[in-house]
Chains A and B, each alone.
Chain A
Amino acid sequence: MNRTEAELLGFLQDRAGLDASFDTGSDLLASGVLDSMLLIELVLYIDRVFGVVFTSDDVAPANFRTIETLAAVVDQRLDSCQRRVA
């Protein structure tokens, strides 16, 4: 588990009270963990902690399916930002 995944898992465990069986590969959508309100809070959290701004176009099932897929999107955005700065 990388740092981004750990941060996101920590946030969701804190907000949604997930049990120990929930991991970074668990389906956030099918399990009903991620309702509209929590999704918005999660987007704002990513904005605040990682500086990655999601638009409505980014609210796609493919991005929010698991913590792993979401963390990959965040890391990809951070990488492309760093490349642009370099």
Chain B
Amino acid sequence: MKWPLKSSPVPREQLPLYNLMYLHAPGIEHADSTILWGTEIDASGLQSWLEACRSTSPVLISTSHVLLQATAQALAQHPDLNRRVVGRRVFAYRNINLRLAFQNPAHGGVDVVLVQSAETRSLQEIASLVWRTLLLANRGEADIERDRRRMRSLPAWGFHWLMALYRWLDRHWALPTIGRLDDLRCSAVLVNDLSFRNAPPMRCYKPTRFPDESISINVTMGPIEEKVLVRDGQPAVGSVAPLFVKVDHRIVDAYQLGRFLATLRELLQHPAQMDALAAERIRATAARWLQRPEESSDNLVRKTA
């Protein structure tokens, strides 16, 4: 059992008035708290970095892995986004955990990889974890597959009531996660890499809202395409990729979203700096744990066991 959220909510005084208005709105049907911001990145640096990684890394690195690392590093710089709503309160997550959605040809549906403490992982670590999960999932060998099969074997009425009970509990209490499927609730972010081969150019993308409220941020990158850009005041052909971030106004406002998106964009355009940032965060976390051992993950596991 894990407790993904901090034990007390973010103090009400720290929440801006407009966020509180959305938080106390009569229901999500009446007030749409979604903010979606789309931008473009100059993908030339990303492409060069991927090509360089292919010559040096023992693991194949893809845009999904870089997107995961960039999102984690951007969240580490903007921790106010790593939160979720429970009832009328806002809770911060203890760790920066990310979910990556991927298409599983084995069953034709979407699966999710959970990357825990992603801000302390190198690009190679992230890539290895994702490939391992993808292979296990596609071979039907992942432990989580058994839980999925159990869920699917429930009769329609059983599934409906189980989901209704789960959603009700999830919306009213900051619960621990139990079991492998439920572990996905440890993360505020869903990362989507839709730059697959033959994907059409992306001009707009609106991600869905998951039935539970654990996902507060959705980061989506579309396919890279050639476009005319202005570089040094001159028109030039360059590689461009669309990037969309969706957040919840009950947690952050458009200014905070814009700053987060600017950081994410900068990291994706200059990905070479991210492994150094991850190493720095490992050192900082270790130093913090040495000073305050009660904050360490091990201690947390001992407390909850």
Contacts and interface: CB of A to CB of B under 8 A. Distances in A.
Nearest to A63: B60
A16 B59 contact: no
A56 B197 CA distance: 21
B3 interface: no
Contacts of B106: 44
A39 B138 contact: no
Contact of A37 (B53, B103, B135): B103
A29 interface: yes
A56 B55 CA distance: 18
Contact of A40 (B59, B134, B195): B134
A60 B54 CA distance: 8
Contacts of A57: 58-59, 128
A13 B33 CA distance: 46
Interface string A11-48: 00000100000000000011011011111110110010
Contacts of A60: 58-60
Interface residues of A, number: 24
B105 A56 contact: no
Contacts of B49: none
Interface string B84-110: 000000000000000000110110000
B214 interface: no
B173 interface: no
A67 to B, nearest CB: 16
Interface string B102-125: 110110000000000000000000
Contact of B135 (A16, A38, A43): A43
Q: Which of B59, B132, B195, B197: most chain A Cβ within 10 A? A: B197
Nearest to B103: A37
A29 B54 contact: yes
Across the A-B interface, give the 8 residue pairs with the lowest CB-CB distance, nearest first: A56-B132, A61-B54, A56-B131, A35-B197, A59-B131, A35-B196, A59-B60, A61-B60
Interface of A: 16, 29-30, 32-33, 35-41, 43-44, 47, 54-57, 59-61, 64-65
